[in-house]
Amino acid sequence: MKLIFFISYIIPLRVFYLISDVAFWFFGYRKKIVLKNLRNSFPEASENEIIQISKQFYRRFFDFTMETIKAISISGKQLSERIHINRDDPFFQELGNTSIILLGSHIFSWELQGMAISRCMNGPGFFSYQRLKNPFFDKLILKTRTRFGVQGIEREKMFRTIVKNKDKKALFYILPDQSPFGRGKRYVTKFLNQDTAFYYGVGQIMEATKLPVWAVHCERQKRGHYNVVFTKIQDGGTSESAQAMLEKYIGYLENVIKDQPYSWLWTHNRWKTKWTENDIISNKLKNNEREN
């Protein structure tokens, strides 16, 4: 681990971007999955448009990979120079008064984004994560994400952590956009033109805790520089159902992806999960009831 830290520390990001350029020309990581996901998600797009989106995606994907390696050793000053956050945003004003659930996504560059947000907090912060099978990389990623003071909480323990700390003006950061697995219930709805399952537990957490819910994503300014955008999803104290709040997040995420389709993690085999009738939480909402 010390060797990886040394490599991350000693090599400047501009050199990592040169490596990214080489990777772009010689590697097509999970290309079949990427193209299949794009075609199914954007059936109205021509084949040429799909190819162009995939090329832009791979440029950002390899940049993100290099940025994640650099995140192991990046200084707070470097992070602030590259990830731009408005400290006067209404999100931080509300966080100064109450705890918040923050829903992220796998929009580049989410690793640096999470670290930058943690540097802006005055209260405690917790992020939900899934333990990796490889113990070395699990330890490395967890250590990187917690460099600026937040705590990593395994997904199954997140609800208890929120209940225990909800009165401490804490931030609870969750990325619920990837394919659900395990024994928990799943919520199925239309997303990017496909029947898609999401973790139902995230909706249950929002419904039970009645905390304000915000969403966050990055918008790329130029290579290596991003603006962090916060969007209010739900006020605190709501009586909305778990399904309704999930639909608000799903609608938000779909709009963000359509606005910048090359920035989402298309290499993930998002729609491979098979479910039975017992797993499905029926979609009680019509598509036009989503918040756009």
pLDDT tens across 190-212, in order? Answer: 999 998 989 999 999 999 999 99
Return d(Cα 229, Cα 119) in angstroms, integer.
16
Tens of pLDDT, residue by residue over 5-48, are 667 878 899 999 999 999 999 998 999 999 999 999 999 999 99
212-256 pLDDT per residue, tens? 999 999 999 999 999 999 999 999 998 899 999 999 999 999 999
* Better-scored residue on pLDDT, 179 or 68: 68
How large a percentage of the chain has pLDDT more than 70? Answer: 91
Specify the pLDDT at position 235. 96
**With bands split at pLDDT 50, 70 and 90, how would you rate the model's confidence at 289?**
very low
* Average pLDDT of the chain, as a whole number: 91
> Which has more confidence, 180 or 78?
78
pLDDT higher than 50, residue 285: no
The pLDDT of residue 279 is above 90: no
Binning pLDDT at 50, 70 and 90, where does residue 2 land?
low
Domain ranges in the chain are 84-289
Helix segments in the chain, DSSP class H: 2-10, 13-26, 31-41, 47-70, 76-82, 90-95, 110-119, 135-145, 158-165, 200-209, 242-259
pLDDT band at residue 131 using 50, 70 and 90 as cut-offs: confident
Confidence check: pLDDT of 157 > 70:
yes
Burial 77-99 (b: 16+ CB within 10 A, else e): ebbeebbebeeeeebbebbeebb
* Residue 184 confidence (pLDDT) above 60: yes
According to the model, what pLDDT value does residue 137 have?
Answer: 85
Q: What is the pLDDT of residue 171?
A: 98
pTM beyond 0.75, yes or no: yes
Q: How would you classify the pairing of strands 225-234 and 125-129?
A: unpaired
Q: Facing residues of 188 across strands?
A: 197
Spatial separation of the C-alpha atoms in residues 124 and 168, rounded to whole Å: 7
CA distance 151 to 148: 9
The whole-number pLDDT of residue 117 equals: 97
- Residues 120-133, mean pLDDT to the nearest whole number: 92
Confidence at residue 286, expressed as pLDDT on a 0 to 100 scale: 41
pLDDT of residue 291: 42
Mean pLDDT of 55-81: 96
At 185 the pLDDT is: 81
Tell me, rounded to whole angstroms, the distance of Cα 215 from its chain centroid: 9
Q: What is the pLDDT of residue 292?
A: 43
Q: Tell me, what's the pLDDT at 237? A: 93
DSSP annotation of 290: S
